[in-house]
Amino acid sequence: MKTSEILSLIIPIISIVGGLVAGSISGKRQAKVEQVKWARSLSNEFANELRGVVKDFTTLVATISHNQVWLTWMAENNPATLGKEIDKYEESIHKLLPAIEASHAILASLDYQIYQDLHPLMRKILKQDGELGVAFVTYRNKSEEGIKEIGEFYKECWGTAQSFPTIISEAIKPYSVQHIIQNS
């Protein structure tokens, strides 16, 4: 066999092998690109779900906090309607507490650190509700004394209402759009 004949056989073989290698490399690169896209999509879905649960949790905290502030303010400023306000509070709190507890538990399943960061706020809201419940009993047995006890919770409830936005925003800071943009 002549050298030219050998070369005419080797060149196509080299071309075929080169094409296979290039195709393999390209395929691996594309697979890696797709894997990164999938991971990014999954991360975005998770972050969106987490933001939704945090939004629900925040709305519940705001609602409960507002109800507590309103009720304690009424004890100090319009005690004549307090009995009616207590009834409204108790009716709403029996719906809101299971919802906020469920939302808090869902947060634990999505991001345990956020759950832990928000746990003191959760305990504070539940503690205030329990203390108000005891004051309601006093109010129903001894109206004037109960009015005073409920009104004494105003500053504490107002403080919770003022502080919870900062507490929540600090807890979810790693998932904020600003934080994600700064760290990408």
Kindly report, residue by residue over 162-182, the tens digit of the pLDDT. 999 999 999 888 877 776 677
pLDDT reading at 99 higher than 90: yes
Contact of 41 with 169, CB cutoff 8 Å? no
pLDDT at 77: 94
pLDDT at 68: 97
Q: Walk me through the domains of the chain, giving residue ranges and CATH numbers.
A: 48-182 (1.20.120)
- Note the pLDDT tens digit of each residue in 55-67: 999 999 999 999 9
pLDDT at 104: 95
Residue whose C-alpha is closest to residue 106's, from 161, 167, 51: 51
pLDDT at 131: 96
Percent of the chain scored above 90 by pLDDT?
61
118 is written with which tokens? 């928000």
Q: Which amino acid is at 164?
A: F
- Cα(184)–Cα(169) distance, rounded to whole angstroms? 20
Mean pLDDT of 46-62: 91
pLDDT reading at 136 higher than 90: yes
Integer-rounded Cα Rg, in Å, for the chain is 31
Half-sphere exposure at residue 178, Cβ-oriented, CA atoms within 13 angstroms = 4
